[in-house]
Amino acid sequence: MDILQLAEEYYYYTFIVVFTIGLLQGVILARGIRKKFPKLKKYAKGVSIILLILFSINAAGNISKFAEPPKVEYTEFVIPETSEAAFLLLVNTLGLNAGVIAITGIFISIILILLFRFAELNPLSRYFVFTISVIVFIIAILGRFTDYVPNTFQIILYVMYQLGMTLGIFVIMRRRNKDPLEDFN
């Protein structure tokens, strides 16, 4: 029995684990942003609602692209002869006409947050967020360039991850004064 069959067999536990991973990632990112920009606490309700809307829109778009990833097919790779053909090849390969660019944008945003310290994270949190982001990015790339098409169970897992991350950011950002996880530093 492989790990995916085991995960499907114990799907309740799998959903809880994946939701918790997304929730934890959202909480970590929101805490880092709140630490770096403490004045956001003054406008906590408004900022949290704006972030909830933005992350919800982003999650809906990512879920639809994850469920049916547009494929790049190169049955006969031909070197383009015109600039228009070269541009079309570049657009199709990079996924600028599909959802890979959205996931790539999220990956780059999180990496920028981590590398340029827009969010103050301890090293363990930094590695956790980076690892989860890399895994999601690799799955998106596999969906784009291989025959991989996620089944219903995997789509629901991705929905749970996105829901957890969105709710984690919302719950922590809406706190006006005290961060409930501040005691763990």
Q: Is the pTM of this model over 0.85?
A: no
Cα(185)–Cα(166) distance, integer angstroms: 23
pLDDT at 177: 65
pLDDT at 128: 87
Name the nearest CA neighbour of 62 among 172, 178, 143, 173.
Answer: 143
Domain boundaries defined on the chain: 9-176
- What angle (nearest 5°) sits at the alpha carbon of residue 170, between those of residues 169 and 171? 95
Cα(183)–Cα(185) distance, integer angstroms: 6
Cα(36)–Cα(120) distance, integer angstroms: 6
pLDDT in tens, the chain (185 residues): 688 788 889 889 999 999 999 999 888 888 887 887 778 778 878 878 887 887 777 777 777 777 776 666 666 566 777 888 777 777 666 655 555 555 666 665 665 555 445 667 788 888 888 888 888 888 877 777 777 778 888 888 888 988 898 898 888 888 766 655 555 55
